[in-house]
């Protein structure tokens, strides 16, 4: 079994390879109560929590850290700018700081490349998104760069970006993103994107990292779990770490939380076998029948 390593980012900071996913559902009560399963995770050893303004769990993260007794500076906090706040970056960032009860975050993401209209009557953007042409993600990134330069974010990154959108970003970006968070699991290994990000010094963080039951019940994953005497989830997370990919699995189960930060060291041949399961299949953000994801066509997203 291995201790969870830290990956060094392109600005010299280091991030724990496994974080606790902070998605708390869509109901206000469920989001508010998220701290109840975050506290045992922190006490079990998690030092990386991945939340977002849109998740509605930033206040829960603040409470969990405070109640855990672990000093704030020992925990890596990631949060994200929601797609309907692209015209109010600085205001949204300050809201996140206030929610988190901190004066800085460790990583701040541009959550999605596409801008969505902000409706004060629908602050959580739960309705059908109205896609805008402006501001462009290049303009939004320039605002996020200001946050980094202020010292209020130790690192900045993007989420759901492809080679196509990263190339577009680089036409104006002064700062190369430290991290790109994307859906990644054995059925969506994204080797081209990973190679591109590796070459640019961008760490990939995987969301939906275990691929739900779709991946966890795969015969190869089950076989390797038996071989290493661990769970299928531990096998998949160990695969990510072996590839140099960070991962943020969400679990409210105390035992699975402990399992997720207690990983086997996989043999190189087994890592290759798992990678060969790749089928380019999205499980979390599937395109609809028109090829749309969040109002943008997969061609626009570069997916």
pLDDT in the model for residue 232: 98
Residue 123 pLDDT more than 80?
no
Residue 3 forms part of a structural domain: no
Q: Name the least confident of 17-21, 30-34, 39-43.
A: 30-34
Model confidence at 125, pLDDT cuts 50, 70, 90, reads low
What does the angle CA 181 – CA 130 – CA 50 come to, to the nearest 5 degrees? 25
Residue 303 forms part of a structural domain: no
Residue 22 forms part of a structural domain: yes
Model confidence at 25, pLDDT cuts 50, 70, 90, reads confident
Residue 135 forms part of a structural domain: yes
Q: Name the least confident of 10-24, 31-45, 264-278, 284-298.
A: 31-45
Residue 26 pLDDT more than 90?
no
CA distance linking residue 261 with residue 96, whole number of Å: 27
For 208-250, the pLDDT digits (tens) are: 999 999 999 999 999 999 999 999 999 999 999 999 999 999 9
| Domain range for 210 | 12-297
- CATH code (residue 252): 3.20.20.100
CA distance linking residue 181 with residue 158, whole number of Å: 6
Asked if residue 79 lies in contact with residue 128, where contact means CB atoms within 8 angstroms, the answer is no
118 belongs to the catalytic site: no
If one counts the domains in the chain, the total is 1
| 111 is an annotated ligand-binding site residue | yes
Please name which of 82, 72, 69, 71 lies closest in space to residue 43, comparing C-alpha atoms.
Answer: 69
Residue 229 forms part of a structural domain: yes
pLDDT in the model for residue 121: 72
Residue 191 forms part of a structural domain: yes
- How far is CA 66 from each of CA 62, 94, 127, 241, rounded to the nearest angstrom? 6, 20, 33, 29
Residue 47 pLDDT more than 80?
yes
More confident residue, 129 or 276: 276
Residues of the chain with pLDDT > 90, as a percent, come to 87
123 CB-near residues (< 8 Å, 6+ apart): none
Q: Torsions phi, psi of 83, nearest 5?
A: -65, -20
Residue 134 pLDDT more than 90?
yes
Element (DSSP H or E) covering residue 6: strand 6-8
- Alpha-helix residue ranges (DSSP H) falling in the chain: 28-32, 35-44, 58-68, 89-100, 137-150, 163-169, 191-200, 212-216, 219-228, 232-242, 254-260, 268-275, 298-301
CA distance linking residue 135 with residue 132, whole number of Å: 8
Give mean pLDDT, residues 155-183. 98
Please name which of 106, 52, 98, 101 lies closest in space to residue 75, comparing C-alpha atoms.
Answer: 106
Model confidence at 1, pLDDT cuts 50, 70, 90, reads low
Give mean pLDDT, residues 41-50. 95
Give the predicted TM-score (pTM) of the model: 0.95
Chain mean pLDDT for the chain: 94
Residue 81 forms part of a structural domain: yes
Please name which of 66, 65, 53 lies closest in space to residue 24, comparing C-alpha atoms.
Answer: 53
SS3 label, residue 16: strand
Residue 99 forms part of a structural domain: yes
pLDDT in the model for residue 185: 98
């Amino acid at each position: 079994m291995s201790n969870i390593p830290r990956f060094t980012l392109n600005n010299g900071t280091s991030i724990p390879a496994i974080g606790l996913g902070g998605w708390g559902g869509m109901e206000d009560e469920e989001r508010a109560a998220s701290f109840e399963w975050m506290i045992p995770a922190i006490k079990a050893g998690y030092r990386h929590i991945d939340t977002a303004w849109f998740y509605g769990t930033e206040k829960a993260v603040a409470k969990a850290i405070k109640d855990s007794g672990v000093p704030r500076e020992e925990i890596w906090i990631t949060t994200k700018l929601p797609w309907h706040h692209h015209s109010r970056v600085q205001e949204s960032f300050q809201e996140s700081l206030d929610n988190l009860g901190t004066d800085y975050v460790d990583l701040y993401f541009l959550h999605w490349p596409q801008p969505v209209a902000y409706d004060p009557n629908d602050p959580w953007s739960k309705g059908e998104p109205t896609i805008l042409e402006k501001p462009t993600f290049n303009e939004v990134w320039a605002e996020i760069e200001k946050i980094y330069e202020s010292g209020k974010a130790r690192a900045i990154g993007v989420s759901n970006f492809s080679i196509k959108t990263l190339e577009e970003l680089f036409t104006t970006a002064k700062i190369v993103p430290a991290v790109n968070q994307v859906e990644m699991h054995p059925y969506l290994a994204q080797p081209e994107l990973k190679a591109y990000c590796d070459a640019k010094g961008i760490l990939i963080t995987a969301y939906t990292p275990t691929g739900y039951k779709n991946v966890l019940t795969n015969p190869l994953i089950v076989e390797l779990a038996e071989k290493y005497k661990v769970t299928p989830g531990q096998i998949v997370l160990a695969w990510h770490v072996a590839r140099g990919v960070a991962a943020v699995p969400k679990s409210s189960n105390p035992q699975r939380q402990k399992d997720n930060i207690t990983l086997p060291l996989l043999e190189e041949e087994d890592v290759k076998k798992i990678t060969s399961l790749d089928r380019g299949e999205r499980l979390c953000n599937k395109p609809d029948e028109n090829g749309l994801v969040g109002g943008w066509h997969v061609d626009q997203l570069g997916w």
